[in-house]
Amino acid sequence: MGKKRASLPIRQLLVLRSKPVFSIFLVFCVFAFVRLNRSKSRSSTTDKSSIDEKSKLETNPKVAFLFLARRNVPLDFMWGAFFQEANVRNFSIYIHSEPGFVFNESTSTSPFFYGRQLNDSIKVAWGDSSMIEAERLLLKVALGDPANQRFVLLSDSCLPLYKFRDIYEHLISSPKSYIESYFDFEDDRYDPKLLHAIPKDRWRKGSQWFTLIRRHAQIVADDDVVFPIIKKSCKRQSNASVSARRQMLDLHKPQDCIPDEHYLQTLLAMSGFENEFFRRSLTYAQWNQSATEKDKQWHPFTFDYTDASPQSIREIKEIEAIHYESENWTEWCQVNGAFAPCYLFARKFTRGAAVRLLSEGLLGPFDPVLFLNATRRFFPVKHRDIQAR
């Protein structure tokens, strides 16, 4: 009671104070109403189809699947089964492959891929900035369709871990992008002489396999500041020059820099958008450190028929959090406050592995009961150096 009373004078005061404004507003409203009605009746016949078109787009956001392929997409049969269950208005496909490579009956068993190759694709060297250029080309073309609201970058060895409907709902309901991004305090790739235009505290590292909301896709496509710097100054060193410098006991470490492991993360950190994405990739890769090589390089493990067991797929699906070792930071996987699987896609899988997964029906729907029952699993992101693909 008392509370209600106390608030009354304030409301009255507001009404009184705004009275002159209100009358002007009222006049404006009447005017606007008349105009609106007039234009409505005028346009009702001519613009109806375009209004329908627009509302259709608004209610049916699409997920754009961007395939970065060397040539064909070896797991096309699996993606075919995946897209088969989708509404064609809910997704679009774009492929960047070798220039001149054509996706047709001769090169792919899945009609979903026919005619989806970019017409202006470029020659890509893995681990080179040309890979980022290809990603930006994919984004530019996909942005041409205003219905595309989420942009998922996939390699030619990626596969989906869930059915289309689950992945679609997950992506569309999440208002944020997904980008693996972290500080690496031991990082020796940052060369202040070359990269001075990028402050060291904005230098980030992480996997290139992104999922972007439209706004971030636009930022990447429009970027003409960070990409030229990375292209010029972040380069992978050849084995010869690395070992030559080691032999000369060159104390200045060679800046072996892999552009695609820094570009997107650093761009968004530079643009001040770090609070708008989840700091993790939706694409799983198992990192193995090779014991044989002197360098102890990290490699993404390739799953073949025997490795793609129900057990290994379940283990990937049960991962609930990502632990960044270099920052001692644990990122719990959530969307809109609810726990969610960390990974929706995984790489690298052979055709044999995909055949097994399909035939054993392992890519079933997301099962919350199974998920909540699962033993806690963390995915450690270690300091890793050279990535082989």
Ligand X SMILES: *[C@@H]1O[C@H](CO)[C@@H](O)[C@H](O)[C@H]1NC(C)=O
Q: Could you list the residues that contact ligand X (CB under 6 A)? A: 60, 86-87, 90, 94, 102, 104-106, 115-116, 118-119, 141, 164-165, 168, 238-239, 288-289, 293, 301, 307, 328, 369-370, 373
Instruction: Please name the residues in contact with 21: beta carbons below 8 A apart, sequence gap of 6 or more.
Output: none
For residue 59, the minimal CB distance to ligand X (Å) is 6
For residue 371, the minimal CB distance to ligand X (Å) is 10
Closer to ligand X by Cβ: residue 270 or 381: 381
- Could you give the CA distance from residue 176 to residue 171 in angstroms, rounded to a whole number? 9
Structure tokens at 295: 């360098």
Closer to ligand X by Cβ: residue 47 or 367: 367
- For 269-272, the CB contacts below 8 A with 24+ separation are 269/181, 269/202, 269/203, 269/204, 270/198, 270/202, 270/225, 270/226, 271/219
DSSP assignment string, 96-133: E-STT---STTT-S-GGGTT-B-TT-----TTSHHHHH
For residue 21, the minimal CB distance to ligand X (Å) is 41
For residue 323, the minimal CB distance to ligand X (Å) is 9
3-state secondary structure of 253: coil
- Could you give the CA distance from residue 178 to residue 180 in angstroms, rounded to a whole number? 7
For residue 311, the minimal CB distance to ligand X (Å) is 11
Closer to ligand X by Cβ: residue 106 or 336: 106
Closer to ligand X by Cβ: residue 126 or 227: 126
Closer to ligand X by Cβ: residue 32 or 102: 102
* Cβ pair 73, 67 in contact under 8 A: yes
